[in-house]
Structures are given as structure tokens and as C-alpha cells.
Structure 1
Amino acid sequence: MLLKFAIKDFHDDVKYRNLSPKTISGYLMTLNEFQEYAFNNELVNVEDIRTGTIRSYLLYCREERGNNPTTTNSKLHTLKVFFNYLEREEVIQSAKLNPIRGIMFAKEDIQIQTFNENHIKQILNYYRRSKDKYSSFSAYRNYCMVIFFLGSGARLGEAVNLRWNDVDLVNGVLVLYGKKREQSSIPVTDKLIKELAEYKVFCEQHFKESSDYVFVTDENKKLAVDTVKTIFKRLKRDMNFKDVRCSPHTFRHTFAKNYLMNGGDALSLQKMLRHKQLAMTQRYVNLFGTELRKLNDQYNPLQHMDI
């Protein structure tokens, strides 16, 4: 079977299974890149693909395209999903003939960057000054969006999909739609509720009507993920931080780090971050363990026992 036809059949299958558009887009981006790599090496049929082909492709991604281990592992995951699908559909006749067998994920050097208090003050002052000087809706929206990321630990996709109907300003609860479109509710602080309530009133006065979505464009339409990425690219340029990546996900890391440093535990943080596995949350505990020393000194049971 032609590899490009197999990719088309796979595309139809994931659409039928109602996977999220973001997941499908990510799959296709990798598979189309892999198909082009195979074609350039005169490999056009599924049967032509060997384990060595896949390893060579992953090395090409790392050495020629500059992909880090996290990115190449993501691509390997996509290829595993694809070739296992072909095995189930009997395009590949047996597990022994599946070229993905035996290929291990690369070891990742996990580095989690976070904002410090000075970074956050600079960012908020940047938008606060813009708001005061220009009375700009976009500056105030971005200001509130930064506070939202910092106070909720939300993912970018969760932020842009947030509707006012999902915000309980009375009881201080947010309903978020995360990965795989799963719904979760989390409590939020009075500070964040107050900011969102004031921002809501501002939006209603600015647009003379209510909006379905919390974070909207100047035309009162839902913000796109790419638009928020552009906002943060501009923020990165203007802030010119040398020691930290300026992105929405850095605020998620910052939320997690400060949650732990202020006395939170891994289990409750797991619920706040909506991680399926505790091991995901445990990374923060492992990485920030030295910074948790003072909390350990404060809460360690030995400190309070006469032994």
C-alpha cells in the first residue's frame, strides 16, 4: 500500500473517532514530514519502511531539523500510533513486521523554567502602563490573561476556550476543558475572581454587549491559539528576558512551583493541574526539591518531636 494512501486512511480513522482537531493536526504534520522524508529516500510503500528507516528519520529530525528529544519523542509517539493502526487494519500483516517495534523513546533532559517575582512585576507593569496610556482594550485583556494564567495554572487551550458560563464568580470555581476535551472544575482565589469580575464589567461596557468567551479579540470574537502565541512573541521581544522563556506554559510551571513552595502537596497540585498521572506532577517536586528545603524544615515531623 502506498504510504500516502495509508496516511489518508489514518486521517479518516482519527476523524471518525472524533479526536480533537489539534491532535489530528499534530499527527498529520509529523506523518506528512515522514512521508516526504521516505519519498526523498525513494520509499513510497508501507512495506518499504523498516525499523532503520524510522530511526534514520528521527536522527534527521534531531541533527538536521534541530529537534530536541521532547520533540522527537512526540514524533515517535505519532509514528507508533500510525503503524499500530496499520497493524490493526492488517495493512501490516503481523507484529513482527511492524517497523515501529523495539524503537525506544529518547531520554529527555527535563528543564522547567519559571518566572520569578521580578519577571511577573515587569510583565504586569508593561500592560498596566499600556492600559493607562492608551486605554487599550487589548492591553487590559492581556493584563487579565496573564493574571489568569498565573492564578489558575491553565493551559493555553483551556484559556481560549473559557466561556463566561464556565466562570462561577459567586462560588469561585472555573470549569475548564483540557486535553482530549475533558471537563474539570477547579477552585480559584478571591483575587482572581475579583480581577475577572472587573474585567467582565469592562468588556460589557466596552463592547456594549456580553461575549460568550472570556478572552476575545478587539471585535469581541473568540481569541485563536495562534493569536495568543503572537501576543507572547511580542511580549518576549519587549521584555527581552534572557533567563526564561516567555510563554503561557511558563506561567503554568510558575503556578506549580509557587503552589509547592507555599506549602501545597503533590496530590492537590495534581488535581489543580488536571494531570492524569501523579508522575507528571512529581516532576515539579523533584525539580524544585532544593527550593522546598525551607518548607521541609518548617513541616518535617522531626522538627516538632522531642526525641
Structure 2
Amino acid sequence: WKALSALYKFTSDAYGVRNPMLKIEKPRFKKKPGQRLSRDQAKRFLSVVGTDLEWALVTCYFGLRFRRVEAERLRLGDIKSDYIIVQGKERTEELPLLPLLRDMLLKLQNGRGPLSPVFPIKADALAYHTKQLFKRAGIDDVRGSPHTLRNTAGRLWLTYGGDDRANRQLLRHGNRTMTDHYSELNIDELYVLEERFNPMLNLMRELPTTLTNTTGVRETKADSQSGDAISTWNYETPPTTV
């Protein structure tokens, strides 16, 4: 339809040919639901995460629902004591940051300063590592991408009992209604909900091989970005294409 409309519009404008497409309505298709993991698949996915880099990228895409570009833009100085600054598509926003998720991100600090990127590799390389995790978990019926993890987090938030309004706010959708904006929760209210309904932490509580204490202690709202546990990187270099 788009190709024919463009063709007839051009011929009509250039040569005065009658445009029959003006009488044909644009076809409407039912929007397909975004790809996402089931609860069991998500547990299997988390069970194969091993290195500090893998936990950090899963924290971004699944625990914090980041988009690819947001993870690439993330700086160490954006990681605060109990919130994180997100450089989004349209605006800069703040999200609540639970202690365990904060610790997973700061394991990549490795002595670098606040202006340094959390991931000093490109978004394509992060996507490659994400895809490798899907393969390792034996998940091949959905696309192994960061966006699949983001979609999964949005769905499982509701499965664990979280409300849709807070879910939309945490996903930072650009098409939120005016009512959504008037009824927005503040970051402290979102923090309390994250402690209870965050899908990544809820799944980790169900896995025998991960940390049993996934809550941690919330610090005061000081801008401390230092962590005691600093470890070196351990990750596979993605293959280069010729």
C-alpha cells in the first residue's frame, strides 16, 4: 500500500495522473505483542548468567528495563545511592535503584571515574553477549535481544502483582497519557514497589544458585558511587565479521 501510494502521488503531482489510492483506505493490522520470555524461561535465562559483565548487562536490560541506547549512554556517575539517571530517547529521567542491582553495576567500575561509561563497549557488542546468554540457556523460540528482556520485565511485573500505571512509568513509554503524567508516582513510591515487584529480583529469589538476600539495605540519598567489591572484567570478545 505504501509503495503504490508513493508511486501514484508522484505521478499525480508530476504528470497530473489521477490518483486512485486516495479512495483506498490504509490497511490496518493488529499489532503483534512484543517478544518476551515466559516465567520459566526467564528463570532458566538467569541461571546461566555468570560473569560480572553479564550480570551488569542483565541488570540494565532486565532489572532496570533499559533500552539499548540507554545502556550505551550510561555513565558511572549516573549510578547514585538509591536511584539511577537514565539518558532516554526523549528526556533524562531518574529510576529507583535497589542495592543489589547497584552493586552489580558497580562491579564494572574497576577504578574508573564518574564520567566513564559503565560499558566501554558498543551497544552491538552488548547485544551479542545478550544473544549468547539466550543460546546458553537453550532459548531459541524468541529473539535473543535486549528488547526481549525489557518486554519480559514489563510483563512479569504484572505477573508478580505490580500495577499497570507504575509499570508504564518504569518502562518510560513516550506515549503515556495526560492522566498518567498527572498521577505519576514519585521516586520513593516507585522504590517501595520495586522492592516488592521487581521481576529480576523475584526470579532470583526462586533460584537456588543465586543470592538468597536480594533486598539489601537502602542507603541515604548521598551521591556515593564507590563500591567495596571491585572486580576485573571477564567477557568473551565478539567475533569480527569480514
TM-score (norm 2): 0.57
For each residue in 1:25-74, what CA deviation from the matched residue of structure 2 results, as whole angstroms up to 9, or x when unmatched?
xxxxxx9xx7xx96xx9x79963698668xxxxxxxxxxxxxxxxxxxxx
1:152 Cα deviation from its structure 2 partner: 0.9
For each residue in 1:66-112, what CA deviation from the matched residue of structure 2 results, as whole angstroms up to 9, or x when unmatched?
xxxxxxxxxxxxxxxxxxxxxxxxxxxxxxxxx7x975352224223
For each residue in 1:282-306, what CA deviation from the matched residue of structure 2 results, as whole angstroms up to 9, or x when unmatched?
9xxxxxxxxxxxxxxxxxxxxxxxx
1:192 Cα deviation from its structure 2 partner: 0.9
Q: Which of 261, 265, 282 is the matching residue for 2:159?
A: 261
SS in 1 for 2:30: coil
Task: Give the whole-Å Cα distance in 1 for the aligned partners of 2:19 and 2:138.
Answer: 43
Q: What aligned pairs does 1:1-307 form with structure 2 within 5 A after superposition? A: 47=14, 104=26, 106-128=28-50, 131=51, 140-168=52-80, 170=81, 172-180=82-90, 182-200=91-109, 203-204=110-111, 209-210=112-113, 212-217=116-121, 223=122, 225-278=123-176
1:175 Cα deviation from its structure 2 partner: 1.4
Task: Give the whole-Å Cα distance in 1 for the aligned partners of 2:34 and 2:24.
Answer: 29
- Counterpart residue type for residue 119 of structure 2: F
- Counterpart residue type for residue 267 of structure 1: R
- How much is the aligned-residue C-alpha RMSD, in angstroms? 3.5
Report the equivalent of 1:75: none
- Counterpart residue type for residue 72 of structure 2: V
Task: Give the whole-Å Cα distance in 2 for the aligned partners of 1:52 and 1:233.
Answer: 46
Structure with the bigger RCO (C-alpha within 8 Å, sep 6+) is: 2
1:272 Cα deviation from its structure 2 partner: 0.8
Task: Give the whole-Å Cα distance in 2 for the aligned partners of 1:194 and 1:250.
Answer: 23
The structure-2 alpha-carbon separation of the partners of 1:109 and 1:166, relative to structure 1 and needing over 3 Å to count, comes to same
Task: Give the whole-Å Cα distance in 1 for the aligned partners of 2:18 and 2:87.
Answer: 39
Contact 1:267 1:278 survives alignment (8 Å): no
Instruction: Identify unmatched segments of 5+ residues in structure 2.
Output: 181-242
1:236 Cα deviation from its structure 2 partner: 4.2
Task: Give the whole-Å Cα distance in 2 for the aligned partners of 1:105 and 1:177.
Answer: 36
- Counterpart residue type for residue 148 of structure 2: T
1:173 Cα deviation from its structure 2 partner: 1.0
1:248 Cα deviation from its structure 2 partner: 0.8
Task: Give the whole-Å Cα distance in 2 for the aligned partners of 1:179 and 1:50.
Answer: 41
Instruction: Select the structure of larger CA radius of gyration.
Output: 1
Task: Give the whole-Å Cα distance in 1 for the aligned partners of 2:19 and 2:139.
Answer: 42
For each residue in 1:184-204, what CA deviation from the matched residue of structure 2 results, as whole angstroms up to 9, or x when unmatched?
11112222122223332xx32
Aligned length: 173
Higher helix share: 1
SS in 2 for 1:175: strand
Task: Give the whole-Å Cα distance in 1 for the aligned partners of 2:162 and 2:99.
Answer: 18
For each residue in 1:106-159, what CA deviation from the matched residue of structure 2 results, as whole angstroms up to 9, or x when unmatched?
22242233223443344344341xx4xxxxxxxx31331012221111111111
Contact 2:55 2:104 survives alignment (8 Å): no
TM-score (norm 1): 0.47
For each residue in 1:202-248, what CA deviation from the matched residue of structure 2 results, as whole angstroms up to 9, or x when unmatched?
x32xxxx436111123xxxxx2x333333334444444413332211
Contact 1:151 1:188 survives alignment (8 Å): no
Contact 1:156 1:248 survives alignment (8 Å): yes
